[in-house]
Structure 1
Amino acid sequence: MTENPGLDALNKRCERSITQMTDADALAYIAELIDDSLDASFDRGPKRALFLLDDLGKRPLGDKDGALVEYFRANAWAARSQIANVRQSWSWESVERQEELLALSRAATHPGFASLDKVRRCQILTNRANVLHTVGRSIDAIAGWDAALQIIPAFAMARGNRGSGLSSLASMLVDDRERAIVALHAYDALRSAMADDAIYESLDPALAVAFFANSASELANAVNLDAVRALQRLDEGFEGRSKLERSYRRWCLQNQLFLCPLNDLGAHLAGAADDLMLPPIIEGLNDRPDGYLPPPILGFFNQMKQEYASARFTLFEGISSTKVHFSDRGVKLTDTLDYPLYSLASERVRIAFRIAYSLLDKVAFLVDHYWKLKKAPDRISFKNVWMVERKSRLLPQFQARENLPLRGLFWLSKELFDDDFKMTTAADARELHAIRNALEHTYLRVSEGWAKPFMVIEASNKGFGIAIGSDELEAKALRVMKMARSALFYLSFAIGVEERAKRRANHDHLFGSMPLYGLEDRRKRRDPF
């Protein structure tokens, strides 16, 4: 008599080959193996599923099945993570989570993604957002749930998990009004997951419903919801003085590019501000014995915010320009017959990409300074600042540090590619790296976006620079801009966690304060003298 007939049956199923199965049958078989193995906490099942998916991926699959391979690959890694109880661990590093995120990113950006049914697309986007939320990337997770709700507005798991994400975001905000408004929207999102029109893809959503209900109840007990609802006034704010300024501010709102958490609730005018700041910084009397100015990181954060805002407007100008600028007139260029795009507008997009990407390395420089990592300044990058010098091993200062937004910043760095740290969680990481390298050091050939699909690159041009369409470059620049925005949020939140911990640890000490004031807009003009 067998001790566990269920596991015996799963072991036998793991021996089965998919060689004689059709693509559809193979996918169905692998999906069932993953689900049944997870139910039985049988780790060999998802391991075998990953092997079979690699085998299936060697076939000439259609785009739709190619996207499904990545979706089920993510499910297999998620099953391994759950069986190993990784999801309950505070560990910063996790191969299972990293591989799951990469597979979901590949599925969401796969050419076959649009061919999948709406529920499957929502599952991919929601699952990815859920993992992002788990590792501390609440800003990016909210955008993911929003994308799912664009497909099926009543998709319950996106609604409810978005509520959980907004609740986490609210807990990190310093401003009382913004925290209350975000908490209110978290409550509304959680309640909407229990509404009559909510669509659950699972047959038994009782556990999810109970979790969302409990979370909503906790928020209702902590926040005066009616009072906040009456005072939020999200549609009030500064629209801009000129037609151009109003257009720019609408574009920022629609793309969620303002450094304001209210912009993450949607394109509300109240979110049209860049009010993200560092929290109050505590210093000991002996930290800077000769210093009489505010902590230098405040000035550095100012500089990063200004660079971000300037790059954002530069990108807007590049994307929205439809006229030949006077500075382009008379600049003699050769028509290379590949529909080249040379203009001030195109250069603005390039510049915005470069500034936004460089901001990530500057964030790393501030991380090194604040957390006293003592890295060599000329070798710091957003990808390597977390690691032991020249090794792919996390620094001991971070391994068990309970700072969720800091961990989120670390996981954001995993979206980049580096020649020394090749593992990434983003399908386009190598492409972003190649574009940046070409912009900084070699040759990025930009063609008019409509023409690139019809172009044939001559063999003599292969390997000489990188070819990209103008619309692709604009999309990549916008993507990097959003990464820079997220990095600034997580950095501010992470320092806030550390400063609050300092205050708690030194509650019996005497604190003095140095009042600081905002820099007036009139002082931002260039002095002509």
Structure 2
Amino acid sequence: MSREDQILNKLNFFLDIGEINNEKPDEANLILGSIYEYSRELNLIDALNKGIYISSLVDLGKYSDEDKMTFYYNLSNAWSYKKMMLQELNNSLYWNFESEELVQEILNCRKALYYSKNSKNLNRKCEILTNLGNNLSHLGRFSEAVECWSLAVNIIDDFPMAIGNLGFGLFHYAQVLYDSHHKALFLKESNIYLKKAIKLDGIYPEAKKDFLRLSSVIESKVDITFLTAKNDFKNTSIGNSFEEKKYRKWCVENKLFLNPLNDIFQNNIVAHDILCLPTIIVNNVDSNIYKYHTIFNQIKQEFCSARYLFYDSVVNQTLHFSDRDTVIIDLFDYSLHSYNVEKTKLAFRTLYSILDKIAYLINIYLNLGYNSYEVTYRKIWYSKKGKLNPLIEQSQNWALRGLFWLYKDFFEKEELHSYLEPEAKELSTIRNFIEHKSFKVIELGSSGISEDGFTYIIGREHFIEKTLKLMKTIRAGIIYTSLFINIEETIKDYDADKLGKVQLSILDDNFKI
């Protein structure tokens, strides 16, 4: 009997097992995982679909968090296999902005990550983070993908697939950067990770082949002396005063500078908000070039100001003179009322509002046709008939797809919202209560909406954590915005001989008063 026939017999045996809920959780997970893997190996989509259907019948009530982690990890893999069976690399389906397979793959991967919080199975945690990084990178959220792979490497420093995919991801991230020096540094880091992964055990042969190919491409295009030299960033200034240096160091360590290099380095070289719009080609009568930079300048300034407001509210938790003699009734509920708390709230509101301003820029740049008063981040992606806007869908723009999936995280319908990005739903709720309803920050107690629905109550540390999460997400969105425009500009048709130049100056710091 051939190996293929043996696998088929095993697959049919597992498919013929009766009531899945009669099995113990670990045995049910083994059965389902085997169905998914054997179906993939034999390329049997009907068997895979049956396995996915069986999983929908599972009662998870008796499953521990560890069991649920494994269940959702396996199910995410199943949807990934189905996606691979249906889609071929670089065909139109592969570039679909959304599909059921994509949604279910990332949804179940995030569920697995959610239930892995207290797991001692570090290897499985790294597998989940690596897969989530792969998912995010595929969707065009490459900055956040780097964070996932890096987290996996921080848990197990020689975890092979996280290291290899980090190298793979940085290579592709480099391709959409407009700054040649940044691109070279990304390729240098990519090559380091690729070479390290190739030497490790546990790399799939196909993956190792891809890693070798990319490393060869890098070494053929980038000077080998540069690739092998150590980076020397020691002499880069991080500021003048002690307070400025302290603030900038905090930004560097939390990867909050509007600078793609901060995704791969945490030292002085990245301590400035260098990200701008790329070179944009327009008709000589097109005044939109100034509009693009006007709105992007606003986005950058609001982000940077919100970042400092938040930082200041966290590190300077002392009584401010403006709070003296402000009469506040003590309700004995541990609620906090102060200038510092309001700074955190202002930072949160400002950061959240940037999403609509990104939509404003996308609308005018892609000429989507919305009136300025109609534009919101929730609205621009779909036509009035509820279909994805063809100008967006047909773009095959990697970073634009990342921005679209940010929309899905924040504004997707309720049943997907909770796990597509669990924290995004909470961020949306917090923003709604801060802007329109009763919102209370407390020193002690649990967080959530009050029983009567009147007030959203949140612990101070929890609110700080959520604001930092929002800041990181908005930073990634701003990076995707700049680079989606760069991708569009690289594919424009134009006659180079007829190009003129408009010199745009950088505003002197002395005028920022």
- TM norm. shorter chain > 0.5: yes
| Partner residue in 2 for 1:452 | 445
| Partner residue in 1 for 2:130 | 126
8 Å Cα contact 1:67/1:113 also seen in 2: no
Give the TM-score normalised by the residue count of structure 1: 0.89
1:205-216 correspondence to structure 2 within 5 Å: 205-216=204-215
2:513 corresponds to 1:519: no
| Partner residue in 1 for 2:97 | 92
The amino acid across from 1:188 in the alignment is: I
| Partners of 1:337 and 1:22 in 2: CA distance | 49
Residue 19 of structure 1 aligns to a residue in which SS?
helix
The amino acid across from 1:344 in the alignment is: Y
1:314-353 correspondence to structure 2 within 5 Å: 314-353=309-348
Give the TM-score normalised by the residue count of structure 2: 0.92
2:393 corresponds to 1:405: no
Residue 514 of structure 1 aligns to a residue in which SS?
coil
Out of 78-87 and 472-481, give the one that drifted further.
Answer: 78-87
1:129-528 correspondence to structure 2 within 5 Å: 129-195=133-199, 198=200, 200=202, 205-227=204-226, 230=229, 232-288=231-287, 295-389=290-384, 391=386, 393-418=387-412, 425-448=420-443, 451-453=444-446, 461-502=451-492, 505-507=493-495, 509-525=497-513
Q: Which runs of 5+ in 1 are unaligned?
A: none
Instruction: Evaluate the alpha carbon distance shift between residue 467 and residue 441 of structure 1 in structure 2; reply closer, same or farther with a 3 A threshold.
Output: same
| Partners of 2:62 and 2:427 in 1: CA distance | 27
Q: Which runs of 5+ in 2 are unaligned?
A: none
The amino acid across from 1:273 in the alignment is: H
Q: CA deviation at 1:422?
A: 6.1
8 Å Cα contact 1:363/1:488 also seen in 2: yes
Residue 416 of structure 1 aligns to a residue in which SS?
helix
**Aligned-CA RMSD value:** 2.5
8 Å Cα contact 2:170/2:189 also seen in 1: yes
| Partner residue in 2 for 1:35 | 37
Out of 44-53 and 210-219, give the one that drifted further.
Answer: 44-53
8 Å Cα contact 2:448/2:456 also seen in 1: no
Which string of whole-angstrom CA distances, capped at 9 and with x for unpartnered residues, describes residues 25-67 of structure 1?
1111111111111112222344333344343344232222222
Instruction: Evaluate the alpha carbon distance shift between residue 390 and residue 244 of structure 1 in structure 2; reply closer, same or farther with a 3 A threshold.
Output: farther
| Partners of 2:8 and 2:230 in 1: CA distance | 58
The amino acid across from 1:521 in the alignment is: D
| Partners of 2:456 and 2:88 in 1: CA distance | 40
| Partner residue in 1 for 2:14 | 13
Instruction: Evaluate the alpha carbon distance shift between residue 37 and residue 338 of structure 1 in structure 2; reply closer, same or farther with a 3 A threshold.
Output: farther
Out of 302-311 and 350-359, give the one that drifted further.
Answer: 350-359
Instruction: Evaluate the alpha carbon distance shift between residue 332 and residue 51 of structure 1 in structure 2; reply closer, same or farther with a 3 A threshold.
Output: farther
| Partner residue in 2 for 1:25 | 27
Name the structure with the higher helix share.
2
Which string of whole-angstrom CA distances, capped at 9 and with x for unpartnered residues, describes residues 154-201 of structure 1?
111111111111111222222222211111111111111123xx352x
Instruction: Evaluate the alpha carbon distance shift between residue 56 and residue 87 of structure 1 in structure 2; reply closer, same or farther with a 3 A threshold.
Output: farther
Instruction: Evaluate the alpha carbon distance shift between residue 72 and residue 6 of structure 1 in structure 2; reply closer, same or farther with a 3 A threshold.
Output: closer
Q: CA deviation at 1:384?
A: 2.6
Instruction: Evaluate the alpha carbon distance shift between residue 457 and residue 262 of structure 1 in structure 2; reply closer, same or farther with a 3 A threshold.
Output: closer
8 Å Cα contact 2:8/2:38 also seen in 1: no
| Partners of 1:420 and 1:174 in 2: CA distance | 37
| Partners of 1:272 and 1:247 in 2: CA distance | 11
Q: CA deviation at 1:137?
A: 1.6
1:20-99 correspondence to structure 2 within 5 Å: 20-85=22-87, 88=90, 89-99=94-104
Q: CA deviation at 1:268?
A: 1.5
Which string of whole-angstrom CA distances, capped at 9 and with x for unpartnered residues, describes residues 356-382 of structure 1?
111011101110010000114333222
| Partners of 2:59 and 2:477 in 1: CA distance | 34
Out of 46-55 and 277-286, give the one that drifted further.
Answer: 46-55
The amino acid across from 1:407 in the alignment is: R
Q: CA deviation at 1:308?
A: 0.6
| Partners of 2:342 and 2:104 in 1: CA distance | 36
Out of 264-273 and 396-405, give the one that drifted further.
Answer: 396-405
Residue 468 of structure 1 aligns to a residue in which SS?
strand
Instruction: Evaluate the alpha carbon distance shift between residue 512 and residue 76 of structure 1 in structure 2; reply closer, same or farther with a 3 A threshold.
Output: same
Q: CA deviation at 1:229?
A: 5.3
Q: CA deviation at 1:73?
A: 2.3
8 Å Cα contact 2:449/2:456 also seen in 1: no
8 Å Cα contact 2:39/2:45 also seen in 1: yes
8 Å Cα contact 2:126/2:152 also seen in 1: yes
8 Å Cα contact 1:278/1:496 also seen in 2: yes
Task: Tell me the matched-pair count.
Answer: 505
Instruction: Evaluate the alpha carbon distance shift between residue 161 and residue 331 of structure 1 in structure 2; reply closer, same or farther with a 3 A threshold.
Output: same
Instruction: Evaluate the alpha carbon distance shift between residue 52 and residue 446 of structure 1 in structure 2; reply closer, same or farther with a 3 A threshold.
Output: farther
| Partners of 1:507 and 1:456 in 2: CA distance | 58
Q: CA deviation at 1:500?
A: 2.2
